[in-house]
Amino acid sequence: MVGRGELTDRAWAAIEPLLPVSGRGRRWRDHRQVINAILWKLRTGAPWRDLPERYGPWKTAHERLRTWTADGTWQRILDRVIVKDDSVGELEWIVSVDSSVVRAHQHAAGARKKGDAPPGSRPSPSTGKASAGPGAD
């Protein structure tokens, strides 16, 4: 039985050939279990340390994602899944944007524009131009 948000047999069959085989050292933890761990993390946004035990050690999933991101494996997986599923209308796009991933433009963040008066100065009632502020003579 496949849990919510986990790889189906069909999805696994599509991406399994893209995954590296363990070459040196000891055998890797099951790729499918690790990918399900990564998907859980990405879906929930929870910290890695909160990964449920059924996915194995959080450090394994975290390190595998780092390795696969660095060597291009993760991008190949995403490219295969997104192109294939989107072309047959089976992909549901969920976009989440918040301030942790989107930076505001400097003008939106309250930065002074070139030519603006310094903070604390006020326009003169007679000229409309900014004065130097209180106590500046």
The number of domains in the chain is 1
Domain membership of residue 21 (yes or no) is no
Domain membership of residue 53 (yes or no) is yes
Domain membership of residue 16 (yes or no) is no
pLDDT of residue 34: 92
Domain membership of residue 4 (yes or no) is no
CA distance 118 to 49: 47
Residue 45 near residue 97 (C-beta atoms within 8 A): no
pLDDT tens-digit profile, the chain (137 residues): 566 778 888 888 888 999 888 666 667 778 999 999 999 998 888 999 999 999 999 999 999 999 999 999 999 988 887 755 544 555 555 555 555 555 666 666 565 666 666 666 666 566 555 555 555 55
pLDDT of residue 86: 47
Domain membership of residue 84 (yes or no) is yes
Domain membership of residue 66 (yes or no) is yes
pLDDT of residue 52: 94
pLDDT of residue 8: 85
Domain membership of residue 126 (yes or no) is no
Q: Which of 1, 34, 2, 40 is nearest to 16 (CA)?
A: 34
Domain membership of residue 11 (yes or no) is no
